[in-house]
Structures are given as C-alpha cells and as structure tokens.
Structure 1
Amino acid sequence: MNKLLLLEDDPSLSKTLIKYLTHHGYVVDWAKHGEEAIDLTYDNHYDLYLFDINVPLINGIDLLSALREAGDMTPTIIISALVDVESVTKGFIAGADDYLKKPFDPEELLIRIKAKTSTLKEKIKYKEYEINLVTKEIFFKDTPIHLGEVQKNIFIALLKNYPNPVTKDELMLLLDKPTDLAMRVNIAKLKKNLNLTIKNVRGVGYQII
C-alpha cells in the first residue's frame, strides 16, 4: 500500500483529497505547512509527495529543493494555483516529477499518482499469483499463465487496486468493444480461467477478493 505526504494549507481541499485517496487504497499524511512536512519526511518513508507551493513557513518549492539536495529523490507532484510559466519552471527545476494546476479533478490526480507509484513496483503478488508489471507476464506457482490481452489487463487493474474495487468506467477502457455484455463475459472468463473470486460492487465496479 502506497504512502503519500500531502503538503496543503487548505483544510477543505486537503480533507477532500485525503478521503478520496484513502478510498482508493492510499495512506495519506497531511502537513499544513513546510516545517511540519519536513519533520514528517524525517520520521517516515513515503512513496510520493504532493506539494502545494504557497504554504506557510517553508514553501513547497524550497522544501522540495532542500529534500533533493539532501538526496531525497521521492517522486513529487506539485499541485498549485500558480499557472504562470515561471512558477511551473521553478517547480521542475526544484526537482518535481509532475505539475498539476488547480483547480483539478481528483480523478486526474489519481491517474498521475498511479503513473508515478506504479513505477516503484515491478511485481505484484496476490495469493499464489505473481505479475511482472514490466513484461505483463503472469505466473501461478512460478508457472506462466497465458491470457488474452483484455483479460490480462483487467486482472492487472484489479490487482493494482486491490483490495479496493476498480470502477466500471476504468475497466471499460480496457475493452476492445466496451459494452456491459463484453465486460460481464470477460469477468466471467477471468474468474473461470484463474479460479478467482471477483465481486460486482453495485454502482461502483468490480473487486477481486
């Protein structure tokens, strides 16, 4: 489970993001100012930083610069209302891996977080299954398992989000011809081929259990 550090002084936005990201399986620590954030980085290991720029005591860019100079290369996404070219440039010069301009859709942030944190793990293990995320090879007790591309991608998506469900909309994007029937057929085949328990979470999507 990935652990994130959120540096954001807006309580309303912070609570919304923490609730949303926690729902999607992330652990989130919240720092309201730069000094608090720097203390948290001393005491914890994080998989990703989410830093606003205009926060009290130490701003996000100065904090990131200091962390990079200290050898902390934790992937970092800047989230800021500052949209001018100079601010964006300063963010990347400081060592940011991505820059998201406020206001933003939490789903877009989630996509960017997944893109950064998935690179930290080359393999996923689930019971006696193992997936190589680089080659997309699937093994059961060290024996290769061969699936069609669509079922393979659905299986990987379900495991990446385990134990939380994957939304129906996300899974639809993995289908060649996205229809409800095609989704049900692929899920049924996946359950049969791999002897899996996949639950239909009403109004949300599917969840491997």
Structure 2
Amino acid sequence: MIATILLLEDDQQLSDTVKQFLQYQGYNVLCAYDGLQAQEIAYEKHIDLMLLDIKVPHQNGFDFLQTLRDNGVQTPAIFITSLNSVEDVTRGFDIGCNDYIRKPFALKELLVRVDALLKRRYGTHEEKIDLGDGFMFDIKEMLLTRNKQRVPLKTKEAKLLSLFLEYPNELLNYNKIFERLWDYEEEPSAGSLRSYVKTVRSFLGKDNIETIKNIGYRFVKE
C-alpha cells in the first residue's frame, strides 16, 4: 500500500526537492502552494500524512490545520517551518500537529519522522492486527485469516478493511473511500461499496461500522 502525502510548501524549489526525495522512497506526494489549494486536496483526495509549511499564501498552515481539525479530520501532520519560538511550537501542538521540524532540515531526518508517523497510523507496530474471533489481518500482505486459514476476500474488500483499521473512529466520506478502492480509470459504484461494507462488517462487527447518511462510514473502535 503506497501512502499519499500532502505537501504544503510555497517555495517551489524546496517543494520539488522534497517531493522527488519522498517519491524515490516510495511515497505518493501531492503538492499545494497555498492554504486554499491544500484544502481542496485534503477534502478531495485520500491523504495519509500532511507536511505543512506555516507561512504560505491565502491561509497559513496553522489556520489550515485548525480548519481540518475543527471538521474532524485527524490525518497526521508535521509542521515544517522556519518559525522557531516556543510559542509557535506550542501553538502547533495545541492545534493538533503530530510533529515539528525546523528549516533548514536534512531530508533523512524528515524521512525518519514521516516513517515513524505512518507506522503509528494503525495504532500498532505489528504487521498483523487481531480482529477477534480468530480473525487476523496482515497489513503488509493485505491478507485475512481465521484460525490461520486464509479467508477469501475481493481486492476492494481487503482495501476497505485496511482503510477502516487505518482510520478508527474517523469519518470517511465517500470520495476518500472511492479514491482508495477504485483505480483512476474505474467508475466507483455506490452499490458495490455497500456490498463491500456488508462483508467487512462480518469481521469488524455489524454495529462497529456506522453509516453516516449521504456522507460515508465510520469504524467505531473503543
């Protein structure tokens, strides 16, 4: 599974450098050069991690992240900025960032922080997640087993199961689900999605996946 990173940075040369470096490391990177453009990407695309400069046009990085957090978006975020006062760092964490890196920075240091945050997305450092009742899901292999016996899953069912486990207690709107499950040249199907949700409910619990009418779904995990 290739993780997608939103990079908000108005310095195009730095943006290109970071993008090329992270893509070489196997990540998909979507670039925004101002806060409003970043908002469009954040709400329209499936994003696993955000790298946010603060001093950008139209809407600064602080306000951008605050808007997302106010709307229930909990995607991990790292602020990348030349601001270095204790007040700025404190404000960033109060808003809801997960990490903070000061410019200038080494690309290797950035990679270490990115890798660390993305490994925590599943709430575990293990590659296999115990779903209960004998079910285990292998994140890396996208493989579901029960009592060590493989459970047949369609590719999109496995992707949906992975998505719910990756974003527990977070509202996933239809656009983000379609983005993850269907390839670019495919036409998303609401009917097929309902069928996939029904299958995944049999593993995660019928009452643990909420249907948010006309918006999407939420996997509720205590």
TM beyond 0.5: yes
- Please name the residue that 1:95 is paired with: 96
- How many residues were matched structurally? 133
Write the mapping of 1:162-201 to structure 2, written as runs, cut at 5 A. Answer: none
Taking only the aligned residue pairs, the percentage that are identical comes to 41
Report how far residue 40 of structure 1 moved.
0.6
- Please name the residue that 1:29 is paired with: 30
- Please name the residue that 1:69 is paired with: 70
- Please name the residue that 2:112 is paired with: 111
Query: Which residue identity lines up with residue 52 of structure 2 in the other structure?
Result: F
Report how far residue 142 of structure 1 moved.
4.0
* Secondary structure of 1:37's aligned partner: helix
Separation in 2 of the partners of 1:68 and 1:24?
A: 28
Separation in 2 of the partners of 1:9 and 1:27?
A: 19
Report how far residue 61 of structure 1 moved.
0.4
* Secondary structure of 2:29's aligned partner: strand
TM-score of the pair, normalised by structure 1 = 0.59
Write the mapping of 1:1-150 to structure 2, written as runs, cut at 5 A. Answer: 1-121=2-122, 124=127, 142=148
Separation in 1 of the partners of 2:15 and 2:27?
A: 14
Which of 1 and 2 has greater Rg?
1
Separation in 1 of the partners of 2:53 and 2:7?
A: 8
Separation in 1 of the partners of 2:139 and 2:77?
A: 24
* Secondary structure of 1:87's aligned partner: helix
Deviations 1:144-200 (A, max 9, x none): xxxxxxxxxxxxxxxxxxxxxxxxxxxxxxxxxxxxxxxxxxxxxxxxxxxxxxxxx
* Secondary structure of 1:103's aligned partner: coil
CA gap of 1:16–1:89, structure 2 versus 1, over 3 A, is same
Gaps of 5+ in 1: 134-138, 144-209
Gaps of 5+ in 2: 129-136, 150-222
* Secondary structure of 2:108's aligned partner: helix
Query: Which residue identity lines up with residue 14 of structure 1 in the other structure?
Result: S
State the Cα RMSD in Å. 2.2
